[in-house]
Amino acid sequence: MKLIILKASILTCLLVTVCSYNGLTQRTFPQPLIGDENGFVSIFDGETLTNWEGDSIYWKVENGNIVGEVTPETILQRNSFLIWRGGTTGDFELKLDYKVSAQGNSGINYRSYEVEGIQFALKGYQCDIDGKGEWTGQNYEERGRQFLALRGQITKIDKNSTVFEVGSIGDKDALLDCVKQNDWNECHLIVRGNTLIHIINKQLMSVVIDDDISNRKNEGLLGVQVHVGPPMKIEYRNIRIKKF
Structure confidence at residue 11 (pLDDT): 43
| Residue-wise pLDDT tens digits, 131-154 | 999 999 999 999 999 999 999 999
pTM: 0.89
CB-based burial, 17-29: b 16+ in 10 Å, e otherwise: eeeeeeeeeeeee
For residues 195 and 155, give the distance between their C-alpha atoms in angstroms, rounded to a whole number. Answer: 10
Please, what is the Cα angle at 227 between 232 and 131, to 5 degrees?
50
For residues 21 and 190, give the distance between their C-alpha atoms in angstroms, rounded to a whole number. Answer: 37
Structure confidence at residue 10 (pLDDT): 42
What is the bridge-based pairing of β-strands 203-210 and 153-157? Answer: parallel
Give pLDDT < 50 ranges for the chain: 1-8, 10-23
For residues 12 and 22, give the distance between their C-alpha atoms in angstroms, rounded to a whole number. Answer: 15
Architecture of the 41-243 domain: Sandwich (2.60)
* Complete DSSP assignment for 35-82: SPPTT-EE---SS--TTEE--TTTEEEETTEEEEEE-TTS--SS-EEE
For residues 131 and 142, give the distance between their C-alpha atoms in angstroms, rounded to a whole number. Answer: 18
Is residue 228 within 8 Å of residue 95, measured between CB atoms?
no
What backbone phi and psi angles, to 5 degrees, belong to 144? -135, -125
Radius of gyration of the chain (CA): 24
For residues 16 and 14, give the distance between their C-alpha atoms in angstroms, rounded to a whole number. Answer: 5
| Residue-wise pLDDT tens digits, 224-241 | 999 999 999 999 999 999
Structure confidence at residue 24 (pLDDT): 54
| Residue-wise pLDDT tens digits, 180-203 | 999 999 999 999 999 999 999 999
For residues 154 and 152, give the distance between their C-alpha atoms in angstroms, rounded to a whole number. Answer: 7
